[in-house]
Amino acid sequence: MSLLDRLRTLGQDREDLLHGESDPFGVPVEEVYSATEARIGGRTVLLAGTNNYLGLTFDPGCIQAAHDALAAGGTGTTGSRMANGSYASHLELERELADFYGCRFAIIFSAGYLANLGMISALVGPGDVAMIDADCHASIYDGCRLSGADTLRFRHNDPESLDKRLGRLGEQAARTLIIVEGLYSMLGDRAPLQAIVELKRRYGCLLMVDEAHSLGVLGENGRGLAEETGTAADVDFVVGTFSKSLGGVGGFSVSDRPELELVRYSSRPYIFTASPAPSVVASTREALSILRSRPELRERLWHNARQLYGKLEELGYRLGPDVSPVVAARLDTPEKALALWRGLIDEGVYVNLMLPPATPAGQSLVRCSVSAAHTPEQLDRICEAFATLSEQAAHLTRRAGS
């Protein structure tokens, strides 16, 4: 097999699935009208797959902050934080993040993906162990590979599986970093964090929680699952992103451990990546301020999540185990998932198509992301689209069986 044959095989698999029709992956959004509407394929569609949980991408304050920073600081820093790219605004955002989480230290990265790569590769190395939930995000897997540590998986959300694997490590457990997510992005379920914290204490490990999808979503103040479960004091490092609830791009880590500051000198993704643009930092700071001052956004988000989850469950769709702003319909085959995705587009609703191997347990998913910006009327339209396609599928099934 040549170097390119692997890609050609992938291309053939893709063609076999699509049968010459349009590719649902990387669909171009031609124009964005608001946090919930856009033009795709020449038609206006409802956006129900953006992870824009608080709907802040079009918030006037965030846009104005970005405009002001763009005019004052230019389009980019053209350098890493270790070179010329450490601006006063970067330091201010780090201080504000640390204050928000009630921690002493914070560090920001240029992307959420880089935050996991940078943190994991700095915290563990050859001879250490990264103990990760099997359903962790690809960036966590890649951070483990970059670190050179021994990577062990435990069954998804299964403390008993974690206990068994830690028990086999012996003294090496003290050189182990446990990594879980607050809210898992595929099915919207949550880590059993209290049980994991108990095991972390028993075996003397460190614990890192990726709160990318739970920032602004879970907890009394929106700090994530650690806040909601009362375990924040036992989480050694929190990692998150600006590209979900905060409506920007970038990543971060916060901790009470002073060693976080040393990550700046040992993390290659931090050292060798250009720092976030001033406009992105400014909009993120404004979004964080809004998250802190407007809890009604989170309340509206959860009202919308319960409405969509409840209606799709009533329609007979197989969903994830927990009500959350991630509402994923589980289909038997990639072909059925693709058909549902295309049907929703035809009905004017854009969602995410998620197929193996990116999905847990080889499942095929049509995934919705609920936003606080969705109006009751828009949620009704989304539910009506799912209802129409459910009725069509039932009709075809009856005809096939007759």
Active site residues: 185, 213, 244
Give the number of C-alpha atoms closer than 13 A to the C-alpha of residue 391, restricted to the C-beta side: 6
Q: Distance between CA atoms of 35 and 272, rounded to whole angstroms?
A: 33
Question: Which ranges constitute the DSSP H helices of 19-111?
Answer: 60-73, 88-101
End-to-end Cα separation, the chain, in angstroms: 48
d(CA 264, CA 107) in angstroms, rounded, equals 8
Classify burial at 323, counting beta carbons within 10 Å of its beta carbon; exposed 0-12, middle 13-18, buried 19 or more: middle
Rounded CA gap, 94 and 90, in Å? 6
Q: State the burial class of residue 306 (Cβ atoms within 10 Å of its Cβ: 0-12, 13-18, 19+).
A: middle
Cβ–Cβ < 8 Å for 172, 205: no
Handedness of CA 124, 128, 133, 137 (dihedral sign): positive
Per DSSP, what are the bridge partners of residue 327? 368
CA distance 98 to 43: 43
Residues 56-67 as b or e (16 or more Cβ within 10 Å = b): bbebeebbebbe
Q: Which two tokens stand for residue 26?
A: 């990387």
Using DSSP bridges, classify how beta strands 251-255 and 237-241 pair: parallel, antiparallel or unpaired. Answer: antiparallel
C-alpha dihedral over 171, 117, 226, 279, to 10 degrees? 160
CA distance 332 to 335: 8
Number of H helices, E strands in the chain: 13, 14
